[in-house]
Structure 1
Amino acid sequence: MKLPSQAIAKSPILLKNVRLETGFEYDDQDVIYTDTALFCVEIQAGKIKSVSSNNPDAKAVDARGLLMLPAFKDMHIHLDKTLYGLPWQALSPKRKTVKDMIAYEQKIIPELLKTSVKRAEELIDLIQSYGTNYVRTHFNIDPTSGLKSLENLEKALENKKDSFKAELVAFPQHGVYYTDSAPLMKEAAQLKSVGFIGGLDPLSIDGSIEKVMDFTVQLALDHHKGIDIHLHEAGESGIKTIQYLIDKANENPQLQGKTFVSHAFALAHISKKEAEGISEKLAAAKVGIASSVPFRGKVMPIPTMKKYGVNVLIGNDNVQDYWSTFGSGNMLQKANLIAELYGYITEFDLSRALQFATQDILPLSNKGEQEWPKPGDWANAVLVNASCSAEAVSRISHVEALMNEGNLFWKN
């Protein structure tokens, strides 16, 4: 069931019977249980104003004892390229390479653009129903689309502005030079709404790591943008591209904290020692990794990267589109997948896995101290049918309500 198009309440709001995590219970040194209690939460001007003792008789919106968690963020998705809302279509076995897909896109994009506003809105509805209120979305920049994908995406986002926010990445899906996309990328980079310059497999698509990365880096520097490139290449070229971006971030400190490699599948094919070495370099240069958590023969070293302090962002990537039919749009499911892949099975570890859905915001610190929500925090939250974060991750609990900057949307 999707969320209603209109908020049932806007700030100022008083919520009662809100379940919040308050601490851990221990058996010796092991966390065995998460304590919770009911509270009143006051929202004003889109932010948390106060968290106080519960008053079940207060004239307020009744949260019905549901658990409040930070709203979820999807940090790699393509809102402009979904088949969601159209009749079912599985993938064709004839399209096996990225270049095959580029040729296919060149054929289908003109027709898809006619309905892309509506389909983007339907995809937003889907991911909101799972508790996501913020995304980093890539949008096609290529000679077939021109700037039309961006224009349609911005229309959809404007229609959802009360409940949803996005940061935008100009993505040369058909290559910078493989098709004549460089002039369009320069045009997109000048737009205020565009926050990041994207890229795609520089060696296998455009034939040169240095030429494409130099173009991308300079465009970001000239227009004060971040960088987020798709890198599917494994082996030497993948590692070399990652190292090239690390070097560029070290040379240009203004890129640090704003440079990301999406997918980075090459990291899934190296030894543990090599993963530790490159994770240390990524962290030092403040170059992040955005992962959709692949697992079909490619298990990323996410725990190693987190250990060394790499900023690891998680996203769904494709949600039922012509690149993949498996994306669900559910960030809790991504956290659940990470927990299963890496053996996060205890109460403590499952509670920590929530960070992959919320992008590092957790209700409790590692020591069990209450960290969220606090006065001054943006009122971005979900109400879920779970007793604690660990249960929400393990059971992929149902989201009953979403709050975006104090605007409350309830399924029922």
Structure 2
Amino acid sequence: MRLLLKNVRLETGYLYEQSFVTATKTELFDVLIENGIFVEIAPSIEVNDAVVVDANMQLLIPSFKEMHTHIDKTYFSGEWKAPTIATEGIFSRFKEEALLLPKQLDVAEDRAHAMVQHYIKNGHTHIRTHVNVDPQIETKHIDIVKRVLDSYQDQITYEIVAFPQHGLLRNGPSFLTIMEKALQMGATHIGGVDPALVDRNSSEVIKTTFQLAEKYGVGIDIHLHEQNTLGEFDIQLILNEMEQRSFKKDVTISHAFALADLPEKSLNPLITRMAANQVGLTTTIPIGAGPITIPVKYLYDKGVKVAFGHDSLVDHWSPFGSGDTIQKLNQFIERFGYIDEWHIGQSLKYATGGITPLNLTGEQQWPKTGDTANALLVDAVSSAHLIARRCPISTVLSKGKVIHKEEIELKGEFR
């Protein structure tokens, strides 16, 4: 199928005053998509055999990637329920899940569908979800989530992290058999959580995690909430295993709170090593009393790829998720005080897998012919405008196919 987008606004460069970027230049183009690929971009394109969509001067931007969520355990689309106070920290949640998750099995599939549909509506064409594998649920959630995500294969791509939420080793040798079964059911990654705190055996947990990843040919995505030198210690252990094994699969550290409060003399050599090993980070841009927001741009500029995720929409851990990545980007720029066109616009990359329409010097780099046509039409005049004013999405394209569309009042630059 061919799709022709008419009157599309594309970013073409920056405007400068005294070497400072003051605005983003845009021009109108027609964009032809065939077999899921951008095949022609020109001021005017006329063809006879394409479905035509008039963009009405809306901005075309890359679609979003949700890189950290839990679609298997959620209250989303169900009745309102606030989380309880965790008097024993993470261990309170383990006890809670042992009772709660089996009770939610009857609604887990419907709620996972609702979350995926919500993410699509909000501009996501890729989802990485962590999925509980624990002594009570065993592999039931993996089965549910795989079935749900498979039903959206013509709309999104996905990754599944087999997540030992209640620890990897503390539940005994029989639990490792359950984990191995999960890794044979379609998981793309093996997860983990705070090995020093939860299992009290960082070295053995991390070693076993890498052994299983190698055995089943999967990547690794570990939750690390441990702060300061304890978190640093676990990150160093992860890097040690990568280097000793020459591990080449994807490795991600989620949250990585330690990077928010390490002194510079400890932080810099650590992130240099992370960049050399291509370790990625995922963050929700958390707000809290302590130093838990990692220095995103500093890390990215040092070569560590950073991506944003929502973690949850609403569940027994937190009531605050939205699934709205434009809101997440807005939260990020406000948190770090970015108010100018360049800093705001370049922040888009944390939501798109590193893609921005303009590179750092203002050269157009997306879309190009040959690129996969995963894109959004938004009522904005630049990436910066989109993020700062939280402009709405009208159309979601996945591999050149319209997978979501809604009527919005077009206001353009006056939003």
* Aligned: 1:50 with 2:44: no
Deviation at 1:253? 2.4
Candidates 247, 259, 267, aligned match of 1:267:
259
Q: Distance in 2 between matches of 1:113 and 1:56?
A: 52
Matching residue of 1:223: 216
Q: Is contact 2:60–2:375 with CA below 8 Å preserved after alignment?
A: yes
Q: Is contact 2:13–2:364 with CA below 8 Å preserved after alignment?
A: yes
Q: Is contact 1:130–1:398 with CA below 8 Å preserved after alignment?
A: no
* Aligned: 1:306 with 2:300: yes
> Is the alpha carbon distance of 1:303 and 1:272 closer, same or farther for their aligned partners in structure 2, counting shifts above 3 Å?
farther
Deviation at 1:330? 1.3
> Is the alpha carbon distance of 1:95 and 1:164 closer, same or farther for their aligned partners in structure 2, counting shifts above 3 Å?
farther
Q: Distance in 1 between matches of 2:136 and 2:180?
A: 16
Deviation at 1:197? 0.9
Q: Is contact 1:383–1:400 with CA below 8 Å preserved after alignment?
A: yes
1:341-380 superposed matches below 5 A: 341-380=335-374
Matching residue of 1:77: 69
Matching residue of 2:410: none
> Is the alpha carbon distance of 1:185 and 1:159 closer, same or farther for their aligned partners in structure 2, counting shifts above 3 Å?
same
Deviation at 1:216? 0.1
* Runs of 4+, deviation exceeding 6 Å: 56-59
Deviation at 1:178? 2.5
Matching residue of 2:230: 237
Candidates 328, 335, 339, aligned match of 2:333:
339
Deviation at 1:212? 0.6
Query: Aligned AA for 1:232?
Result: H
Query: Aligned AA for 1:165?
Result: T
Residue by residue over 1:69-102, the C-alpha shift from the partner in whole angstroms, topping out at 9 and shown as x without a partner, is: 0000111111111110111111112554111101
Q: Is contact 1:162–1:407 with CA below 8 Å preserved after alignment?
A: no
Matching residue of 1:405: 399
Percent identical residues: 35
Q: Is contact 2:75–2:111 with CA below 8 Å preserved after alignment?
A: yes
Q: Distance in 2 between matches of 1:41 and 1:95?
A: 55
Residue by residue over 1:25-82, the C-alpha shift from the partner in whole angstroms, topping out at 9 and shown as x without a partner, is: 1112111111111111111111111111135998721111111100001111111111
What root-mean-square deviation, in Å, do the aligned CA atoms of Structure 1 and Structure 2 show?
1.7
Secondary structure of the 2:41 match is strand
Matching residue of 1:7: none
More divergent stretch after superposition (106-115 vs 87-96): 87-96
> Is the alpha carbon distance of 1:94 and 1:390 closer, same or farther for their aligned partners in structure 2, counting shifts above 3 Å?
closer
TM-score, normalised with respect to structure 1: 0.93
Aligned positions, number:
400
Matching residue of 1:156: 148
Deviation at 1:157? 1.2
User: Greater relative contact order: 1 or 2 (C-alpha under 8 angstroms, separation 6 or more)?
Assistant: 1
Unaligned runs of 5+ in 1: 1-10
1:290-329 superposed matches below 5 A: 290-296=282-288, 297=290, 298-329=292-323
* Aligned: 1:252 with 2:236: no
Query: Aligned AA for 2:28?
Result: L
Query: Aligned AA for 2:177?
Result: P
Q: Is contact 1:24–1:368 with CA below 8 Å preserved after alignment?
A: yes
Q: Distance in 1 between matches of 2:130 and 2:100?
A: 18
Q: Distance in 2 between matches of 1:266 and 1:238?
A: 5
* Aligned: 1:171 with 2:166: no
Q: Distance in 2 between matches of 1:240 and 1:63?
A: 51
TM-score, normalised with respect to structure 2: 0.93
Matching residue of 1:8: none
Deviation at 1:378? 0.7
Matching residue of 2:79: 87
Q: Distance in 2 between matches of 1:321 and 1:202?
A: 23
Query: Aligned AA for 2:184?
Result: Q
